[in-house]
């Protein structure tokens, strides 16, 4: 719902906000199209009709599937990922957050990697808010969360991942457990947590002891930013390279 972006999102979903002449969603679709992607799955929520109308009118040549998360107000991105199971499980996929502004070369570099499972990383000073990534010497991830020690982290997860068939099969098996058998858990503080309302990176972490992890791709040198606030948007318009505007 992007409440921190109000009033910009009062009548427009976050992904349809524009930087320059194109919205965030349009920029992502264009970047993926440029790299040969023709099949898209959109998991929607807030003002979903606007997203569906925009995509179908702007990109009639693409194969598009829309999945509506009807409890988007009380769930997080892990539940939206879970809803994509019929389309994503057992398939090679790219998973992208919808609120990113980035250089299309990042998608090209991800697809060019030989590893089946790749997570993009950016390096900058870290605090509590960032989704932090801790890696081993071989570049594989051993921890990914907002709560890990910033000093131990290699950087922040950008929000673009490549997953192979083996990984997506394992991922949805784990998500099935989390969304059903273990839907409610107890925090260290004794609070009951609905696992539908957490970040999907928790599922990534649970897969690591099972032998499923990512190799990290450092894309710090390429432009990218996440847009959570009005100030973020204003800053992005100033920082985005002219050739991407």
Interval 33-90: pLDDT, tens: 999 999 999 999 999 999 999 999 999 999 999 999 999 999 999 999 999 999 999 9
* Contacting residues for 102 by C-beta, under 8 A, at least 6 apart: 27, 31, 158, 160, 222, 223, 224, 225
* Contacting residues for 67 by C-beta, under 8 A, at least 6 apart: 41, 42, 43, 44, 80, 83, 84, 87
Question: Residue 21: what pLDDT?
Answer: 87
Q: Which residues of the chain have pLDDT under 70?
A: none
Question: Residue 84: what pLDDT?
Answer: 98
Rounded to whole angstroms, the Cα distance separating 65 from 57 reads: 14
The CA-CA-CA angle for residues 128, 209, 162, to 5°, reads 70
The CA-CA-CA angle for residues 143, 121, 130, to 5°, reads 65
In this structure, what are the phi and psi dihedrals at residue 35, rounded to the nearest 5 degrees?
-100, 20
């Amino acid at each position: 719902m992007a409440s921190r972006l109000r009033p910009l999102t009062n009548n427009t979903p976050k992904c349809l906000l524009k930087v320059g002449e194109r919205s965030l969603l349009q920029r992502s679709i264009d970047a993926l199209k440029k790299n040969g992607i023709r099949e898209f799955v959109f998991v929607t929520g807030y003002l979903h009709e606007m997203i569906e109308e925009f995509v179908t009118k702007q990109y009639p040549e693409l194969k598009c599937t829309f999945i509506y998360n009807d409890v988007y107000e009380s769930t997080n991105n892990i539940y939206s990922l879970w809803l994509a199971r019929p389309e994503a499980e057992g398939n090679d996929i790219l998973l992208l957050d919808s609120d990113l502004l980035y250089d299309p070369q990042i998608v090209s570099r991800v697809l060019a990697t030989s590893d089946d499972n790749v997570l993009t990383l950016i390096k900058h000073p870290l605090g509590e808010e960032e989704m932090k990534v801790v890696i081993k010497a071989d570049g594989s991830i051993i921890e990914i969360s907002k709560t890990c020690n910033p000093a131990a982290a290699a950087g922040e997860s950008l929000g673009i991942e490549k997953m192979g068939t083996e990984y997506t099969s394992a991922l949805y098996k784990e998500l099935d457990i989390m969304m059903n058998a273990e839907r409610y858990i107890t925090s260290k503080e004794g609070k009951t947590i609905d696992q539908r309302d957490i970040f999907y990176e928790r599922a990534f972490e649970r897969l690591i002891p099972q032998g499923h992890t990512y190799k990290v791709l450092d894309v710090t040198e390429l432009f990218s930013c996440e847009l959570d606030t009005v100030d973020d948007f204003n800053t992005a318009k100033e920082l985005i390279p002219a050739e991407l505007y």
